[in-house]
Amino acid sequence: MTSHTSAPNQLKQLKQLTTVVADTGDFERMQEYQPQDATTNPSLILKAAQQTNYQALVKQVKMAHPGMKPVDLVDYILVAFGLEILKIVPGRVSTEVDARLSFDTQATVLKAKHLIALYESHGIDRQRILIKLAGTWEGIQAAKALEAEGIHCNMTLLFSLVQAAACGAVHATLISPFVGRITDWYKAKLGSNWSDIDNGGANDPGVTSVKRIFHYYKHFGISTEIMGASFRSATQILELAGCDLLTISPELLGELQASNNPITKKLDANNAKAALASEAIAPLKLDESHFRLQLNNDAMATEKLAEGIRNFCIDTEKLEALLS
């Protein structure tokens, strides 16, 4: 009987094409997948903080800062989880600024500097931290100021090319286009007219949105990293193999690890440049009024950005209630 080695699992194959990032606050679960980086957000931290295995960490933070208001304590909780994650991942952790500051550039800058100072007080180099900011006009201006001071930003709640282009223009380190949430919107909009055959795979609206951003960035030589986020299925992930980075939940990391089907590179910077050389892509106008108008004229991006900020605000308030 001849033995033959099976093909590497899809997660291993994906890591050859793309930097794989874990999307979770549950750092105990991410260890088995050996991601390069990790991302968190208020909802993920709230979920983790409610788990019994993290009660000791939460208690420890509260005891270290007696009498501190919950609104201030949240920052220490976010950093405490970030510090634990950094013991597991060799790369960077993304920590989110309070979503309630999404329309206040100055307050966002101050909050980001405070989070960086907390990490640095624990001996963590700021190169290992990405500060997550909402892709609002104000958030993007905050990123411009922060990047100028060597504080790296991950622009999140990103649903449109105009948001991506504006983030690239201010030299944000990284953007996180939300694949699954874009698809959710179109699915809800089409209702019974939605077809998994016509609107899935390579035609998935979330997937095509990231491809457009990828092509635009490569065409104009924008160095901002693109990290696909908010996936609903392994199919969406595999359609973006070759993207700079992909941040993936433990559930979907497990699914990829369990499959040995071969995967192919779908996004390639060289091919993108060649394909685009023949197309006349015009750079978007990115002053404030043009940005706001283009975002406003994209119903999906406008609605999903507003909803995303609302939900992160709600979960931040729940986290504060948990700490009080």
Active site residues: 132
Give the whole-angstrom CA distance, residue 211 versus residue 36: 23
Q: How many helices (H) and strands (E) does the chain have?
A: 16, 8
Closest CA to 322 of 61, 21, 16: 61
Give the whole-angstrom CA distance, residue 173 versus residue 132: 10
Token digits of residue 300:
């999906």
In the block, tokens 């963590």 appear at 124
DSSP strand pairing (174-177 vs 37-39): unpaired
Closest CA to 39 of 92, 111, 83: 92
| Beta bridge pairs of residue 92 | none
Q: Are 177 and 155 in contact (CB under 8 A)?
A: no
The sign of the torsion formed by the CA atoms of 244, 214, 174, 250 equals negative
